[in-house]
Chain A
Amino acid sequence: MATPVIMPRQGQSVESCIITKWHKKKGDKVSQGDILFSYETDKASFDEEAPVSGEMLDVYFEEGDDVECLLNVCVIGEPGEDTSAFAPKKEGQGEEQPAEQPAQQAAEAPTAQPVAVKSEPADGFIKISPRAKGLASRQGIDYKYAEPTGPNGRIIERDIRALAESGVKFTSAAAGEYEKNPGVSGTGIGGRVSLSDFASAPAASAAPVQPAAEYTDEKVPNIRKVIAKTMHASLSDMAQLTLNTSFDATAIMNFRALVKENRESLGLENITLNDIVLYAVSRTLPEFRALNANWLGDTIRYFNVVNLGVAVDTPRGLLVPTVYAADRLSLNELSKQSKAVISDAQSGTINPDLLKGASFTVTNLGSLGVTSFTPVINPPQTGILGVCGIETKVKVVNGELKAYKAMNLSLTFDHRALDGAPAAKFLQKLAKNLENFTLMLAK
């Protein structure tokens, strides 16, 4: 039996991928694990490995083709096997892929396995018995995640019970959130997932994460529009300017040393200075909503959470994966998540959904010895913080010069969205928070 290889769906929002290179061609022998082809989305590129050994019987697309996800790309099997059944349908006569196919794919590439909505039938509505539906509703369970075992793919009572036992329950408030961030385990009554669980959720790095809908759209006031126009006009397309500051890094360095000492016994992450800065940013930003925002022209989108973009230098160039709802993560969790997304970005396995949706970005050139720079805003965000290296500075303490470790911060902000004073106040507050980091943690 020949085995088709499909174009994987790398994230819920990805509809198609471009084949960038064929490593095998029709007629080639392939062994399980061989790279068949490389492909990329608009955000990341991937290699597809052979799921089985055999001969490459058929190849349906060429390099450069934009292939709809889940379509068969090639077929591997025994020489001479009939592959006609696998030829993908031309556009317009598309046939739904059997449900097993993506599941199979997921099994082969566990890092990319979506936490699937289990019962999404081709005809567009979920089959569920009234009893199962009632039970799900009473128990605050989102039945979409139930594995249907009834006739014709119907979710029946036992499926809801199974789902409940597997721990995925929601408070009604959290149901919508779970849809965006599945995989969260509940800590509420009876194991229910509540909104607070999302705040502390270590979202799986490869999960098809949707940006949190935590924002409010407000009309840009006329004065703001005038300022924006002026600023924009003065600075051509962008109204960016950068403020620099420096703070006493003693507190955070002491804290980091403390973590390092106790890491193993407390089971903590390797919390870096960058993580500490990220944490401080995530806790400081909410007070400065114009910086935790997207400039959308006629509207400004103010976020109620801090979706922190983390600029990462990768072999493919700069990528900015997002740590969602960073303000709701503990320092330890933030550290863990930021490392995970950085690592995925560097290895190229980053879920494309994680490459967008940030409300503010932090970029760190400190390790490269940079002491001050002008980071460029990632539109439509309104600000980006550059983190620089540690320097030794002196200050007067009780009439004496005293050396201390200092860190420079460079904030670039969009003057269309806010003015200089609030940006400076943010930087000042951030610096103060970092200098009194342990106090901030106590909050």
Chain B
Amino acid sequence: MPKSQFMDPDVLRKPGKIKFKDIDCNQYKKTIEQEKANFSNEDFVRIYHDMAVIREFETMLYSIKTKGEYNGIEYNNPGPAHLSMGQEASAVGQAYLLGVDDYIFGSHRSHGEILAKGMSAINKLDDKTLYDIMANFMDGRILKIVEKDQKSTKELAIDFLVYGALAEIFARETGFHKGLGGSMHAFFLPFGIYPNNAIVGGSATIAAGAALFKKVNKKNGICISNIGDGSVGRGPVWEAFNFAAMDQYTQLWEESYKGGLPVIFNFFNNCYGMGGQTCGETMAYGILARIGAGINPDMMHSERVDGFDPLAVIDCMRRKIDIIKNNKGPVIMDTLTYRYTGHSPSDSGSYRTPEEVKAWENYDVLKTYSAKLVDAKIADRAQFDAINEDVKALITKTCKMAADLEISPRMDLVAVPDEIEKLMFSNQKVEKMADGPCDVLMPMEENPRVQAIARKERFGIDKNGKPVSKNKVFQFRDALFEAIIDKFYKDPTLISYGEDVRDWGGAYAVYRGLTEALPYHRMFNAPISESAIVGSAVGYAMAGGRVIVELMYCDFLGCAGDEVFNQLAKWQSMSAGLLKMPVVLRVSVGSKYGAQHSQDWSSLVAHIPGLKAVFPATPYDAKGLMNAALMGTDPVVFFESQRLYDIGEQFHEGGVPKDYYEVEIGEPDIKRQGTDVTILTIGATLYKALKAADILKEKYNISAEVIDARSIVPFNYDKVIESVKKTGKIVLASDAVERNSILKDMAENISELAFDYLDAPPVVVGSRNWITPAHELEKFFFPQEDWIIDAIHERIMPIPGYVATNNFTDNEKLRRAKLGV
């Protein structure tokens, strides 16, 4: 909340009423005659054609799924197929006006949307552009397969589109993204088709993020989140509404950026969330379009449109696109439709009657729309029959090719065993995601924080070996700031947001000084919407930008669970490398704040393939790793301990360099050399380990080597193994609770890699498997220096004269495990 906004009690406490406008439902009433002004005969017929393609495509898949055969082609497709027969008019109507700059993001039931958007793009692109797209995509591999004796480039492109989508669904290497996405995640960027998402409502925050990219970087086009009526039940969807409609866009952002995000939250409302009848059973809205009324004064321009009439949908889209172009977005659309088949082919339909399905089929768009056109003498029946024949031939031909393992092989993981492995990370170094000037408010050297930092001691220990006072020392938070502001002046696409980052400077003052440096559109306060924060960052990166967002506490990771674990982590590899994910997610690990604000969940992140995770413990490493994270193209979860924000550099000679440098992600660092026992730590526990090492040295003449992991994923074991070969003994410690800590994984790897050198099993010292208690009791929960020594004494090498104070015995271990504590 900026000071410029005055929360005036006299205004706020005034009596009054909130007035709602009417929400239109199915108000489209135009006749074909009236629409002739908007559509040529060809256009009218092409709409039918596109719907017919989708119908036949889905019919083919239904046949393959249920009978293992289509039109004489036998094929078994074990993967998913959520079909949309009945929803063709919605998809084609939506896509009709969209160009390649308009991005759609779909759901698990989006085959129709891909085809509709693709055919719309094909219709709009000139032949040369179209051909170049096909020729350049995957080095022309798909084009070579489909290019035969087509009459026109557009026909060829439709073959290309249908084949690429089907091969993707069949998990073939010749699919749009090598079969790594499949039915529920297919996309094709050159046509503005962005990823579909198997998580219900998953596209809402991502589409909002892509829209944010368009707004911030002044790109043409709108973004559409195509999700189902069932997704209204999901919190992240509501977070996305609000994120897209926040007041600040109109009240605080700079003039040329004013207005809500250019995004349509379109609900293909087929009346069922799987089997749950949304209207009447699982939802409260009655009519889905109602929900817009609660979001913002514009009621999100919400409207219900008849998705069984392509012309009604096109009409609605035309009006909504206008709203967005006038910076009045975002928009909610309730596109009423119906699916004839089940949620998936395994759906027995126990939740609806055949009469109900029949009643909708009476309005089947292919029948009713073609009848209207025949009536209006736009085309005759024979024309539609011919289209149906052509479409069937197209789908049959495509199915044959896609099912054929010779033409459409799967990934050969025998010949190329690392084919998926090498797609897990892009591992590129890209200084800026786009060229152009960086929008900043002042030269960096005039920044008050930059000037304050210039007066600080960059090494934390003075000439006499005493720590430099907190006020004078260059702190961990300064190190992060230095790396981040540097990037803001280099990469024009970089933006940052999170809770209380602007004005406040972040809860831990890392961003103090950035408010002065950056306009709103590059750094703003996010709502308390962790899903939207992370999900929109994913969308922002997908659309081509770089972003650094933050979760104020690691504990809030759960609130953004899907966005971190399914979206941020997976899109690079699910896209077979077509998408990059330059997102840095800062996660602050708490202390002193009890059970829901003091957990180190780095192990959860480490468990998910596709995320890089770092946890620096020194200012030097913080700056170097942040630079590396912001230079890369992979998602990096950047853990920071709240215990360390004010710490000075104690290790790097000469202190933290002023200039740019990187600490390579994945490389641990030996913070103290030793010979008798190795202590490997993650995060703030480094300092406990150093204390333990001091005690071991002074009292027991045991020389401990202390290694700071710095990174969790990836992790280069070389130094650790080398150390263990020397010492034969290793304790691993961090603030994460001991059970399933990533340290257990490391311990296991060390056991395998250095077994013959080990003098005792690697021992993990983690926090207790409890809730984090109050600060005053934390020493009983978080590993302390004496725990580390106790563990050495009890489990590795009894220390003569040492008396353990904590119980690290076998029996205690067994007892705790038995109780699950």
A binding-site residues for B, Cβ under 8 Å: 129-132, 134, 149-152, 154, 156-158
Contacts and interface: CB of A to CB of B under 8 A. Distances in A.
B796 A151 contact: yes
Interface stretch (B276-284, B582-590, B752-760): B752-760
B798 A129 contact: no
B757 A151 contact: no
B149 interface: no
Contacts of A157: 728, 759
Contacts of B562: none
Interface string B740-758: 0000000000000001111
Contact of B728 (A129, A149, A152, A154): A129
Contacts of A154: 760
Contacts, number: 40
A134 B757 contact: yes
A132 B759 contact: yes
A151 B756 contact: no
Given A132-B759, A149-B798, A156-B728, 16 more contacts: A129-B728, A130-B756, A130-B758, A130-B759, A131-B728, A131-B756, A131-B759, A150-B759, A150-B796, A150-B798, A151-B760, A151-B795, A151-B797, A154-B760, A156-B796, A157-B728
Residue from B755, B758, B759, B760 whose CB has the most chain A CB atoms within 10 Å: B759
A152 B757 contact: no
Interface string B786-806: 000000001111100000000
B760 A134 contact: no
A129 B759 contact: yes
B810 interface: yes
A129 B756 CA distance: 8
Interface string B566-587: 0000000000000000000000
Interface in B754-773: 755-760
Contacts of A134: 756-757
B336 to A, nearest CB: 69
Nearest to B725: A131
Contacts of A130: 755-759
Contact of A129 (B760, B794, B810): B760
A130 B751 CA distance: 10
B795 A129 contact: no
A147 to B, nearest CB: 12
A132 B755 CA distance: 11
A332 B798 CA distance: 46
Interface in B698-753: 728
B797 to A, nearest CB: 6
Interface of B: 728, 755-760, 794-798, 810
Contacts of B759: 129-132, 150, 156-157
Nearest to A149: B798
A130 B798 CA distance: 17
A152 B810 contact: yes
Contacts of B794: 151
B758 A131 contact: yes
24 contacts: A129-B758, A129-B759, A129-B760, A130-B758, A131-B757, A131-B759, A132-B759, A134-B757, A149-B797, A149-B798, A150-B759, A150-B760, A150-B796, A150-B797, A150-B798, A151-B760, A151-B794, A151-B798, A152-B810, A154-B760, A156-B728, A156-B797, A157-B759, A158-B797
Identify whether the interface residues of A are mostly helix, strand, loop, or mixed: helix
The 10 closest A-B pairs by CB, nearest first: A131-B759, A131-B728, A129-B759, A157-B759, A156-B759, A130-B756, A131-B757, A157-B728, A130-B755, A130-B758
Residue from A131, A149, A154, A156 whose CB has the most chain B CB atoms within 10 Å: A131
Residue from A130, A132, A134 whose CB has the most chain B CB atoms within 10 Å: A130
A134 B756 CA distance: 7
B765 to A, nearest CB: 15
Contacts of B756: 130-131, 134
Contacts of B757: 130-131, 134
A149 B801 CA distance: 13
Contacts of A129: 728, 758-760
A152 B728 CA distance: 17
A333 B319 CA distance: 115
A236 to B, nearest CB: 63
A134 B755 CA distance: 10
B23 to A, nearest CB: 72
Residue from B728, B755, B796 whose CB has the most chain A CB atoms within 10 Å: B728
Nearest to A158: B797
A156 B810 contact: no
A373 B757 CA distance: 65
A62 to B, nearest CB: 41
Nearest to B724: A131
B761 to A, nearest CB: 9
B544 to A, nearest CB: 52
Nearest to B795: A151
Contacts of A151: 760, 794-798
Nearest to B751: A130
A35 to B, nearest CB: 40
Nearest to B794: A151
A270 B687 CA distance: 70
Nearest to A156: B759
Nearest to B808: A151
Contacts of B755: 130
A440 B651 CA distance: 74
Contacts of B728: 129, 131, 156-157
A373 B393 CA distance: 121
A129 B798 CA distance: 14
Nearest to A155: B759
Nearest to A157: B759
A152 to B, nearest CB: 7
Contacts of A156: 728, 759-760, 796-797
Nearest to B755: A130
Contacts of B758: 129-131
B464 to A, nearest CB: 38
Nearest to A154: B760
Contacts of A132: 759
A154 B759 CA distance: 9
A131 B728 CA distance: 7
A73 B798 CA distance: 35
A134 B757 CA distance: 8
A132 B797 CA distance: 12
Nearest to A160: B759
A156 B793 CA distance: 13
Residue from B760, B796, B810 whose CB has the most chain A CB atoms within 10 Å: B760
A158 B676 CA distance: 10
A410 B756 CA distance: 61
B793 to A, nearest CB: 9
Contacts of A158: 797
Residue from A132, A149, A151 whose CB has the most chain B CB atoms within 10 Å: A151
A152 B758 CA distance: 16
Contacts of B810: 152
A118 to B, nearest CB: 16
A154 B795 CA distance: 10
A149 B799 CA distance: 9
A440 to B, nearest CB: 52
B702 to A, nearest CB: 11
A164 to B, nearest CB: 15
Nearest to B760: A129
Residue from B757, B794, B810 whose CB has the most chain A CB atoms within 10 Å: B757
A149 B796 CA distance: 10
A154 B810 CA distance: 14
A134 B728 CA distance: 11
A156 B757 CA distance: 11
A155 to B, nearest CB: 9
A143 B728 CA distance: 17
A157 B756 CA distance: 12
A250 B757 CA distance: 65
Nearest to B810: A152
A86 B808 CA distance: 31
